[in-house]
Structure 1
Amino acid sequence: MARGRLPGYADQLDLILEHAARLFARRGYPATTMNQVAEACGVSKATLYHYYRDKYALLVSIAEGHVSRLQGLVEEVDADATLAPERRLRELIARLVGEYAGAQDAHRVLTEDVKFLEEGDRERILGKERQVVASFAAAVVALRPDLKEAAMAKPLTMLLFGMVNWMFTWVKPEGPLDHAALAPIVADLFLGGLPAVQAAAPPAAPGG
């Protein structure tokens, strides 16, 4: 007979994932045990296993949950046909920064612990990540169509992600600028520099 869901099941799932992500981010996935996750959550190990069969299942859920949220916010922005190209990219940046503000541990897990995923899980999760990058690259191309032929849209997108991805290493909650204040600054820096980028000639074909 299948076990029923405990009261507050969804809330308990969120709590477990939050604490597991914090432990993975700070101690590293290999060094974290299910006992430590259970202790951090204030539950018994038996209760923890009611939700997740093992530590690996936690890793998959954290990484896939984070990238799926990123994918969802990109799809929401892309679905708004009223947005002009610059407004679209600004909205994408604002939504990305806003998501990272509350998911610093999950983002670090996705960045640093994806190598511990089995091939099928890793490819599925990285595939979603590539879709997020592709949406940003398309927004960049909408502003600079010439960058597509020069194959520079993705590199520029990764430079943009570089500004955002590592905010968690230096932005302090008690500091003068929070994520909401920094999002338009990131957009201004990127959009201010984008017109100055020189589109390199596409690489010559072999033997050409």
Structure 2
Amino acid sequence: MSRPIAKDHDEKRTHILKIAARVFADQGFARASMSQVAKDCGISKANIYHYYSSKDALLFDILDTYLSALRDRIIGIEMSGLDPEAQLERIVIETLRAYEGMDHEHKIQTEGIPLLPQDQQAILKTYQRDLVKQLSDVVQAIAPDVFKDNTRKLRATVMSIFGMLNWFYMWNSPADQKARDDYGQLVTKLTLTGVRGL
């Protein structure tokens, strides 16, 4: 007979994911141990294995939970009636807001995704591709003549925008929403000015 799911299962799982993301980000995934995660969570090693069969399974759940929620939040932005320039600003600012409090999850993506099985990598990369596609469509609409028949330039531009956003946590992690919105407006202006000058 299978063990019943505890009433606080989801709450404990969320706690484990948050603590594990911090441990993996601080120590590096290869050096981090399930024992350390359990200790920092305040639970036994046996208990953490009740939730996750391996360190890889835990890593995948951290990234799947984080990236799927990020994708749903950004793709779900209401943009009807907005011109492409306003859509760009909305996406940029909402992305920075979504990153708040997620520095550890964000940091372990680069190291973590290549360590996972190919089928799990494919799932996570699909979330990322959805975000890139949405932003690519908006950037192309801003300057269609610039990017006509030049997907390489479009991709370089879009990845440069993500670069400005993705490394924000490195030097301004504790930024509040106003600081994030201000930086989002700066990135938008830099992008619009730069795209039109290509």
Establish whether residue 2 from structure 1 lines up as the match of residue 39 from structure 2.
no
Compute the RMSD of aligned alpha carbons: 1.8
**Larger helix fraction of residues:** 2
- The 1:74–1:65 alpha-carbon spacing in structure 2 relative to 1, beyond 3 Å, is same
- Given that 1:138 and 1:153 are in contact with CA atoms closer than 8 Å, whether structure 2 keeps it comes out as no
- Given that 1:140 and 1:157 are in contact with CA atoms closer than 8 Å, whether structure 2 keeps it comes out as yes
Deviation of residue 107 (structure 1)?
Answer: 0.9
Task: Classify the secondary structure of the residue corresponding to 2:76.
Answer: helix
Deviation of residue 179 (structure 1)?
Answer: 2.5
Report what 1:201 is aligned to.
none
Deviation of residue 178 (structure 1)?
Answer: 3.4
- Unmatched 5+ residue regions in structure 2? none
Deviation of residue 149 (structure 1)?
Answer: 1.6
By relative contact order (CA 8 Å, sep 6+), the higher-ranking structure is 2
Instruction: Write out aligned runs for 1:47-126 (5 A).
Output: 47-77=47-77, 80-126=79-125
Rounded to whole Å, the distance in 1 between the matches of 2:148 and 2:164 is: 22
Rounded to whole Å, the distance in 1 between the matches of 2:122 and 2:15 is: 27
Rounded to whole Å, the distance in 1 between the matches of 2:82 and 2:57 is: 38
Rounded to whole Å, the distance in 1 between the matches of 2:12 and 2:180 is: 27
1:146-194: CA deviation from partner (whole Å, max 9, x where unpaired): 214222221100000110111121114279x732332222222222322
Instruction: Write out aligned runs for 1:1-208 (5 A).
Output: 1-77=1-77, 80-146=79-145, 147-151=147-151, 152-173=153-174, 178-197=179-198
Rounded to whole Å, the distance in 2 between the matches of 1:116 and 1:73 is: 26
Rounded to whole Å, the distance in 1 between the matches of 2:156 and 2:175 is: 33
- Percent identical: 30
- Unmatched 5+ residue regions in structure 1? 198-208
Rounded to whole Å, the distance in 1 between the matches of 2:173 and 2:100 is: 11
Q: Normalization by structure 1: what TM-score?
A: 0.87
Task: Classify the secondary structure of the residue corresponding to 1:29.
Answer: coil
Q: Normalization by structure 2: what TM-score?
A: 0.91
Rounded to whole Å, the distance in 2 between the matches of 1:17 and 1:181 is: 30
